[in-house]
Amino acid sequence: METSKRHHYIPQFLIKNFSDDDNKLWVYNKEEKRILKSKQSPKAIFFDWERNLFDINGTPGDNIEKMYRDVDDLLAKTLEKILSTLTMTGREQTLMLFLVSLMKWRIPKVDDNFYDLVKGVPIENLGFAFRHIDPATKISTDEINRINDLEIIKETKRLLLPIQPLINEETVSEIHKNCFLVSHDGYPALLGDCPIIESQNSDFKMLEDFIFPLSSKETFICKRGAEKSILSPLFYIQKDLTIFHLSKKYVACKSREHLENIVNIYTKLEIENKTHLLTKYVFEFIK
């Protein structure tokens, strides 16, 4: 089978939920400060060439990409069901929490932080163990360190990190109690190359309060102690502004007009030196 080369860090099944009737979106390039001339398909955006291609015994292999594909297939079916019914079973909610956590570590924006973090976290600490083929033979510390330094092992950690907040039953139960879905069709939501808004968090074993758009209408929210309601429709503007702010390079929306409006508002906030307040205040719209 041919090795894949176009590797999406935002999965296509998620991008499609934000597209128009033609299955396309308008895309804004933050570096060039412009909207691309024509609408783009989910296949054409939020990907890097050969992002998940790594050396395996001297040969480039896409094993990591295949693992992402298997995970995406499961999550896509679950999300499709949730969006069609606007309800979630406990298992489905856990899978959505995994999607949120997965997106947190999968994107290019966090690459530097990720590599700094995993230097000090052996893969054995993430639930992965090395065993010699011969049970009577013990693997040396030097050999384990050598294996931990392999690029493909480092990238395997990127798949294991999202699981960590979901290992402890008590922690998951607490998150479940504070999660809810909201729907708004006043204007279509933005999707950025950083699709999650999370309260400040320095512990990879935790998932803090978050806001995660699932589609152009639906948003998955976790806020501890909240009554699970939105104080004002302005929340949805604030959410889009925050997604725009957090995104590294690309932001997409099926409405060019709404995308332009967000760009204009954000530009004014930049001039007033207020963009750093967006992440903090967006959670205050959640009661």
pLDDT (0 to 100) of residue 247? 98
Tokens of 234: 């302005």
Q: For the chain, which residues score pLDDT lower than 70?
A: 1, 130, 132
* Alpha carbon distance 41, 16 (integer Å): 8
Sign of CA dihedral 121, 127, 133, 135: positive
pLDDT (0 to 100) of residue 119? 86
Residue 25: Cβ-neighbour burial (10 angstroms; 0-12, 13-18, 19+): buried
pLDDT (0 to 100) of residue 1? 56
* Tens digits of residue pLDDT in 181-214: 999 999 999 999 999 999 998 899 999 999 999 9
* Contact between residue 54 and residue 64 where contact means Cβ atoms under 8 Å apart: yes
* Alpha carbon distance 15, 18 (integer Å): 6
Which residue shows structure tokens 């935790």? 206
* Contact between residue 76 and residue 84 where contact means Cβ atoms under 8 Å apart: no
Could you list the beta-strand ranges (E) of 36-82.
47-49, 54-56, 59-61
* Contact between residue 282 and residue 197 where contact means Cβ atoms under 8 Å apart: yes
Residue 66: Cβ-neighbour burial (10 angstroms; 0-12, 13-18, 19+): middle
Cα–Cα distances (Å) from 98 to 26, 78, 267, 283, in that order, read 28, 12, 33, 21
Which H or E run includes 282?
Answer: helix 278-282
* Alpha carbon distance 45, 12 (integer Å): 9
Q: What pairs with residue 192 in β-bridges?
A: 251
Which H or E run includes 153?
Answer: helix 151-160
* Tens digits of residue pLDDT in 93-138: 999 999 999 999 999 999 999 999 988 888 888 987 767 677 777 7
